[in-house]
Amino acid sequence: MLRRTLLTGAATAALARPALAQPATARVLRFVPQSDLTVLDPVFTTAYVTRFHAMMIYDQLYGLDSKLRPQPQMVEGHVVEQDGLFWRFTLREGLRFHDGEPVRGRDCVASIKRWAQRDALGQALMARVAEMAAPEDRVFTIRLNKRFGPMLETLAKVGPSALFVMPERIASVDANTQIRETIGSGPFRFKADERIVGARVVYERNPDYKPREGGTTDWGAGPKQVFFDRVEWAVMPDPATAAAALQNGEVDWWENPPNDLLPLLRRSRDVMMKRSNPLGTFGTGIFNTLHPPFDKPAVRRAILRAMSQADYMTATAGADPSLWKAGIGVFTPGTPLATEAGLEAITGPRDIERSRRELRDAGYNGETVVVMSPSDQPTLTALGEVGQDLLKRLGMKVDFRVSDWGTLVQRRSSKEPPEKGGWSMFHTTWNGIDGINPGVMTYLRANGQSAWFGWPDVPKLEALRLSWFDAPDLAAQQKIAAEIQQVVFDEAPYLPLGQYFASTAWRKTITEPISEVVSFWGVKRA
């Protein structure tokens, strides 16, 4: 078992270093994100840091509240006709993009179409769309050839990739090509001229933004009221440096301090903390199924039956068992679709020698496995270290490639063989909200070349996933979920690594931020 540790003495010394000078203004919010922002296009990548960026500059048709209910955001209201086959949406008055152009129905249609090219839930919707149109400037319509129950949940999708509205001219760019122009209608504007790669990202308040009237701010729903003129992201890959900056008042909010540093932060009277997401976070090991050896289901299955979720979670979240859970299946624990079907594949006895034999019998021929791991995200670094150690103990040849997260995000899109610049495996995490059902689970898509990174081709899994959309009630959905979990354990398109609970930390000089969706509206100086 590997255990990621930090030198307490060094961290303490860092916490005690003198504060650096900074502009004395109460109108600037300083934030430490999980990593640098390397991809600006929220459709092109599922990286959370890009989603956080997009939530600032774009707006959504519907916002998801803390009870996972979609609430009108850009939309003023909608009507449903023809037994659920025709939907008519009307936009709020006064919505404008940052370039001054009004938001029109055709912008919404183009944005939905582009997003749906790469998103699993969007693809499920478009498979049932007969026509989308914009008969008036503030209206767009969706005509279906088959009813689609989660329509509003789809338009409110917040898990990556989230659905954001862009100008039609930008949304017309093919989804497989990154957009370079960041024009939205959201509460902030991106300051590209102040961007410093690896160090700083800057946003300014959009003075023309009109929040929804009435209601209360709740996750992505309600009025998005902004109380800061600027938000500055300070990129700090070293956790001790970020902790020191928070304690000394150089920054106001740190997205995801490692659990190892939480005891040190608690010693500061000026720092507040809470769990960043009540549904937790879960880890996944992503196989590249296009190339040997992970093109063979039996090879992937042998690794799944050899791994220990406890090893992964202890390395990631620490030895305190209250901060993580093992014995976790496909769906987020505590949510309606969570099931124990087939869990013995995860919880059964582990025997490395047996697993080595299974790996040889499965057809592993000594290929070199390229495992990618980021150096600037401690949680993912820990997962990568446990993963590569497991593969080595199983007798596999491992080429452990460490880079920053942004480089990894770009390389994972390559479908080239590992020896030609591609990859074999990487590890990543997902917010619990992104594992509540097959519709939002990007990594559960198993339709080969159209699937998420790793591109698994498991027809039975894909058929079950699609059948979930037609399930008439919760009991039917739960039956399908149990079957999905069993197929995942049989085919091992990815590794479920367990669940852990992370925290977010902020100074008492600001009010409690909305960490569940990492939003910058609602927070103000205390």
Exposure string over 140-167, b if 16+ CB within 10 A, otherwise e: bbbbbeeebebbbbbbbbbbbbbbbbbb
Beta carbons of 314 and 497 less than 8 angstroms apart: no
Confidence of residue 285 (pLDDT cuts 50, 70, 90): very high
Distance from the first to the final alpha carbon of the chain: 43
C-alpha radius of gyration, the chain, whole number: 23
- Bridge partners of residue 230, in order along the sequence: 28, 204
Residue 203 predicted with pLDDT over 80: yes
Concatenated DSSP letters for 247-295? HTTS-SEES---GGGHHHHHT-TTEEEEES-TT-EEEEEEE-TTSTTTT
88, 171, 329 from 180: Cα distances, Å: 31, 11, 38
pLDDT for 159 equals: 85
pLDDT for 2 equals: 38
What number is the average pLDDT over the span 443-451? 94
What number is the average pLDDT over the span 254-279? 94
Condensed to tens digits (0 to 9), the pLDDT of residues 411-428 reads 999 999 999 999 999 999
pLDDT for 273 equals: 97
The 3-state DSSP composition of the chain as helix, strand, coil percent (nearest 5) reads 30, 20, 50
Residue 23 predicted with pLDDT over 90: no
Helix (H) or strand (E) holding 64: strand 62-64
295, 409, 453 from 290: Cα distances, Å: 5, 18, 10
Beta carbons of 435 and 444 less than 8 angstroms apart: no
Angle at 340 between CA 360 and CA 290, to 5 degrees: 40
What number is the average pLDDT over the span 161-173? 97
Please tell me what DSSP assigns to residue 74: S
Residue 4 predicted with pLDDT over 50: no
Q: What's the mean pLDDT when you consider all of the chain?
A: 93
- Please choose, from the candidates 200, 180, 181, the residue with its C-alpha nearest in 3D space to the C-alpha of residue 33: 200
Beta carbons of 222 and 63 less than 8 angstroms apart: yes
Residue 154 predicted with pLDDT over 70: yes
pLDDT for 121 equals: 93
Condensed to tens digits (0 to 9), the pLDDT of residues 479-522 reads 999 999 999 999 999 999 999 999 999 999 999 999 888 999 99
Condensed to tens digits (0 to 9), the pLDDT of residues 462-473 reads 999 999 999 989
Q: What count of other Cβ atoms lies within 10 Å of the Cβ of residue 213?
A: 7
List the structure tokens of 381. Answer: 């670094």
pLDDT for 394 equals: 98
The residue behind tokens 């079950």 is: 464
Condensed to tens digits (0 to 9), the pLDDT of residues 223-239 reads 999 999 999 999 999 99
Residue 292 predicted with pLDDT over 80: yes
Q: At 190, is the secondary structure helix, strand, or coil?
A: strand
Q: Which residues contact 518 (CB under 8 A, 6 or more apart)?
A: 48, 52, 55, 255
Confidence of residue 333 (pLDDT cuts 50, 70, 90): very high
What number is the average pLDDT over the span 114-136? 96
pLDDT for 13 equals: 38
What number is the average pLDDT over the span 116-123? 93
List the structure tokens of 165. Answer: 């509205």
Beta carbons of 148 and 125 less than 8 angstroms apart: yes
Whole-prediction pTM: 0.85
Rounded Cα gap, residues 446 and 460, in angstroms: 9
Residue 15 predicted with pLDDT over 90: no
What number is the average pLDDT over the span 73-101? 97
- Please choose, from the candidates 85, 104, 71, 102, the residue with its C-alpha nearest in 3D space to the C-alpha of residue 146: 85
Confidence of residue 26 (pLDDT cuts 50, 70, 90): confident
Confidence of residue 16 (pLDDT cuts 50, 70, 90): very low
pLDDT for 25 equals: 59
Residue 24 predicted with pLDDT over 90: no
